[in-house]
Amino acid sequence: MIQLQSISKYFEEVTAVDHISFEIEKGDIYGLLGPNGAGKTTAIRMMMGILEPDEGEIIWNGHSINREDRVNFGYLPEERGLYQKQKLKETLQYLGRLRGMSRKELNSEIDKWLERFDFTDSADRKIEELSKGNQQKVQFILALLHQPEFIILDEPFTGLDPINQVLLKDIIQEQRDEGVTFIFSTHQMEQVERLCTNICLINKGRILIEGPLSKVKEKYRKHAVTVKYEGDLNTGDLEHFIPEFQLENGELTGVLKTPTTDFLDWLNKQVEIISFAHSTPTLEQIFIQEVCSAA
């Protein structure tokens, strides 16, 4: 559906995005991950047409993407803000019209979403009178008001209470079931594990990991370990085997970067091993492991 073909973006001497390629299928929720300053926002801005790539091409449904295609895109930017002095409903109407919605279609969609988010009584209130969390919901509505085929959500959950997080998640899944494609960018790994089928982890403008979440986890399964032990562990040497580890109540978890046997030989000399198991790593562990070893 959308395909990034080796796109790059340079700002003066900085390479923000360095030959990134991936493809997203229709109806997918694609997780775009990476530490701060990895180049996620720049990549998103290029997909949204806010910035032009310096190299490479973005393909939409088989052709080079153009502005008309992007009218069917929805976007929730990470940096948020709205017209504070304007009324909720009028702001929605303005952006809906800008995206070419007819008056009738626009009004019925607005009513639908206002009701869904319990905003019906606030329709004529000024944005500045809404709480921060509510303003964020308004921006979420803005991203999908015009029934886009492709929606980019940059940190949609931050600042929302658990009830609203669930509401958002439900809506994202409903939309996905109707065939809407999502790019979901966040630092909250548990949300990615819950929602995404495919992920792409980038750092310093380059792709570190890309592919289906299940396969990524499978690949790391052999490396992720959980060890219960007794005795004192020399943590300085431990970093040689597991760069980023967690130690809690005599339980060690982390992702190995050396063969398992080497690690066990070393460990056996240090402490008494009570149990040892390969575990499925969390995405958070994979993220930390990859970003740290790339650094």
Partner 1 sequence: MNRILNIMKWEFMVRFRSKMFLISLFMPLIFMVFSIIPAMLMDKGGDSEVKVGIVNHAEHIASKFKNNIGNKYQFDDGKPKYWIFDYENFDEAKTALQEKTIDAIMVIPAGIMDTSKSKYFARSLSNFKVIDELRNTLSHTVILQRMENQGVAVEMAESISKRVKMDTFEVNKEGKLTEGNELMVLLGPFFFVFLLVMAIFINGQLLLRSVIEERTNRMVEILLSTVSARELMTGKILGLGSLGMVQILFYLSIGVIFGMVKGIEIVRFDELPILFIYFLTGYFFFASIYATLGTLFDNEQDAQQSMTIVSIIAMVPLMGSFYFMANPTALVTKILSFVPPMTPFMMILRISSDAAEPWEIAATVVLMIVSVWGMMTLAGKIFRTALLMYGKRATLPEIWRWIRA
3-state secondary structure of 94: helix
Backbone angles phi, psi at 51, to 5 degrees: -120, 150
CA 252, 257, 260, 262 dihedral sign is negative
Decide whether 73 or 220 has the Cβ nearer to partner 1.
Answer: 73
Q: How many CB atoms lie within 10 A of CB 30?
A: 24
Q: CB of residue 57 vs partner 1: minimum separation in angstroms?
A: 18
Q: CB of residue 99 vs partner 1: minimum separation in angstroms?
A: 6
Rounded to a whole number of angstroms, the distance between the first and last alpha carbons of the chain is 33
134 alpha carbon, distance to own chain's centre: 21
H or E segment and range at residue 7: strand 2-11
Look at phi and psi of residue 288 and say left if phi exceeds 0, alpha if psi is from -120 to 50, else beta.
Answer: alpha
Degrees to nearest 5, angle at CA 13 with 2 and 23: 10
Q: CB of residue 141 vs partner 1: minimum separation in angstroms?
A: 12
Site string for partner 1, 148-177 (x = CB under 8 A): ------------------------------
Q: CB of residue 275 vs partner 1: minimum separation in angstroms?
A: 51
Number of residues that bind partner 1 (CB under 8 A): 26
Segment near partner 1 (CB under 8 A); pick from 71-79, 222-230, 233-241, 251-259:
71-79
Report the site for partner 1 in 35-64 (rule: CB under 8 A): 45, 48-51
Decide whether 145 or 225 has the Cβ nearer to partner 1.
Answer: 145
Identity at 214, one-letter amino acid code: S
Segment near partner 1 (CB under 8 A); pick from 79-87, 174-182, 183-191, 245-253:
79-87
Is 94 a binding residue for partner 1 by CB under 8 A? The answer is yes
CB 165 within 8 A of CB 135: no
Taking CB under 8 A as the criterion, the residue among 95, 130, 183, 283 binding partner 1 is 95
Please give the Cα distance from 289 to 284 (Å, whole number): 8
3-state secondary structure of 105: helix
Q: CB of residue 241 vs partner 1: minimum separation in angstroms?
A: 42
Q: CB of residue 81 vs partner 1: minimum separation in angstroms?
A: 3
Contacts with partner 1 by CB under 8 A lie at 45, 48-51, 67, 70-71, 73, 75, 77, 79-86, 94-95, 97-100, 142
